Amino acid sequence: MKERPPLPRIEDAPQELLESGHLWLTELIDGATLRIQLRESGLLRFGDSERVYDDPDAIPLSYRRAVRHVRERLDRDRLRRAVDDVESVVLFGAATRYGTIEYDWDRLPPFLGVGVWAGDTGRFLPPDATERTFDRLGLDPINAVERELNTRDFDPDSYVVPDSAWYDGPAKGVVVRNKKGGRAKLLDPEFHEIEGPSPVEASAEKLAERYATDRRFETIATELRDRGDAVTFEVLHERALEDIAREEYGRLFHDGSSVDLPAFRSAVAERTGAFLSRVDE
CA distance linking residue 141 with residue 146, whole number of Å: 14
pLDDT tens-place string over residues 197-237: 777 788 999 999 999 999 999 999 999 999 999 999 999 99
Residue 195: pLDDT over 70: no
Model confidence band, residue 193 (pLDDT cutoffs 50, 70, 90) = low
Start-to-end CA distance of the chain, whole Å, equals: 49
- H-helix or E-strand containing 156? none
Residue 8 and residue 185 in contact, taking contact as beta carbons nearer than 8 Å: yes
- Res. 171 pLDDT band, cuts 50 70 90: very high
Lowest mean pLDDT across 27-31, 65-69, 187-191, 224-228: 187-191
Angle formed at CA 29 by CA 2 and CA 178, multiple of 5 degrees: 60
Compute the half-sphere exposure of residue 107: CA atoms within 13 Å on the CB side of its CA.
9
Domains of the chain, residue spans: 10-193, 204-280
- Residue 260 pLDDT exceeds 90: no
What strands lie across the sheet with 44-47, from one edge to the other?
A: 52-53, 44-47, 31-38, 89-96, 111-118, 123-124
Which of 3.30.470.30, 3.40.1190.20, 1.10.357.10, 3.40.1550.10 is the CATH number of 10-193?
3.30.470.30
> Is residue 192 very low, low, confident or very high in pLDDT (cuts 50, 70, 90)?
low
Query: What's the predicted TM-score (pTM) here?
Result: 0.92
Nearest to 10 by CA among 37, 22, 28, 31: 28
Helix (H, G, I), strand (E, B) or coil at 279: helix
- pLDDT tens digits for 54-88? 999 999 999 999 999 999 999 999 999 999 899 99
Half-sphere exposure of 216 (CA within 13 A, CB side): 21
What average pLDDT does range 107-113 have in this prediction?
97
Give the burial class of 164: count Cβ atoms within 10 A of its Cβ; 0-12 exposed, 13-18 middle, 19 or more buried.
buried
Q: Which of 86, 98, 27, 144 is nearest to 244 (CA)?
A: 98
Backbone φ, ψ for residue 20 (5° rounding):
-160, 170
State the amino acid at position 235 in one-letter form: V
DSSP character for 206?
A: H
Mean pLDDT of the chain: 92
Alpha-helical segments (H) within 43-145: 64-73, 76-82, 127-137
